[in-house]
Structure 1
């Protein structure tokens, strides 16, 4: 089972929980090594709900460098200015986006070449350890208790994305409240079926 840690994830909001798994270790190590980034710049990329903004907030508030969140939606001249300032000051710059730079719409050739030289830090699909931890974490936030059998049933069946795990637990919570039932394998099966579009309403 994955561990829930505050890393040193202490921000202005206090200690914030991040669920860890082996797939996140390279991401954390890269963020902790900003002094070695090429041109003092890195781009943190990952799918929605994968913890990018939390990690970026910790990075900024720990004093490790400056952050531009949702960088792909910012004006190009703003990114260019921040990149130049990072070179002049030696202060690392972390750009955060759902998409890799190759998928951004960039009209300035010089900016495209600079982003291409930055370190790309990617948050990939969660591994089994991280998935189990996310299931436990999202369930705990809703006051749901999932036994090991229910988690073992879910792991090979739920879509391997951070967002889908969160939505599945939301569905499971709703079904549990509607039926006034604890979390059983039957309930888990129905929640999975509803999320995949195969839900068949029970006949009364």
Structure 2
């Protein structure tokens, strides 16, 4: 690979099996909630966490175990829900952000109880902050169990970045990984973005990942005035 060559957006496949999920104190409650199915306390569960915190990974694990269908909240309608067989499992991601019709969501919550459905909703914020106004829906949501994924610790950040590099078939030395971890915000979204930036810089330059490459990819650290 020649220095300065173009970096193409080649797809990479993230490992999303149960054995690939990185368990830490911040997500242990979420893992236990998924593991507890089908003995949930309530037909509907809400999983809350920031972007890139592992919600989608846990949904995929739950789908594998439960046979759940993933439904798009922005296109979901009552007739689609009514067609679900008793005892079916349904996963709906980004329930707080994707234009969920209030009456459709209310119908889903009622149907879950009537047909003994298993429903897993994910969101970035708790249901009491969702942009809904229907009183009956708000009342029903207030009774739904919520499991939150918290902020990651430093060890998890490093491990997650190492997994991202591995998913892209890239290697990084431990000291360089530690250097990278110290230069990003403490969030899994920032970790994923940093890995992507370093990957692109490595592709463009044709060099292995080093401290200098990290600096070039992320820019110089902010300085105190």
TM-score class normalised by the smaller sequence: 0.7 to 0.9
Q: Does 1:29 align with 2:53?
A: no
Contact 2:22/2:156, CA 8 A, preserved across alignment: yes
Count of equivalent residues: 185
Taking the aligned partners of 1:41 and 1:111, their CA distance within structure 2 comes to: 13
Distance 1:60 1:99, change over 3 A: same
Answer 1 or 2: which has greater helix percent. Answer: 1
Unaligned runs of 5+ in 2: 1-14, 69-88
Deviation at 1:60, TM superposition (A): 3.2
- How many Å apart are 1:197 and its aligned residue? 7.7
Superposition TM-score, scaled by structure 2 size: 0.72
Query: Could you list the per-position Cα deviations for residues 36-67 of structure 1 after superposition, in whole angstroms to 9, with x for gaps in the alignment?
Result: 42x42211112222232232233234227422
Q: CA RMSD in A?
A: 2.5
Q: Report if aligned partners of 1:5, 1:19 keep a CA contact under 8 Å in 2.
A: no
TM-superposition CA deviations, 1:137-169 (whole Å, max 9, x none): 211233321111112222233112222211111
Structure 2 counterparts to residues 59-78 of structure 1, below 5 A: 59-63=62-66, 65-72=89-96, 73-78=99-104
CA separation in 2, counterparts of 1:174 and 1:19?
Answer: 25
1:42 partnered with 2:66:
no
Distance 2:204 2:141 in 1: 49
Report the equivalent of 1:100.
126
Q: What corresponds to 2:18 in structure 1? A: 7
State the partner residue of 2:173.
147
Q: 1:136 — aligned with what?
A: 162
On the 8 A contact 2:128/2:141 being kept in 1, the answer is no
C-alpha spacing 1:164/1:132, structure 2 compared with 1 (3 Å): same
DSSP-derived class of the 2:146 partner: strand
Structure 2 CA distance, aligned partners of 1:143 and 1:40? 40
CA distance, structure 1, for counterparts of residue 201 and residue 108 of structure 2:
48
Runs ≥4 in structure 1, deviation > 4 angstroms? none
Q: 1:5 to 1:54 in 2, by over 3 A?
A: closer
Tell me the TM-score normalized by structure 1: 0.78
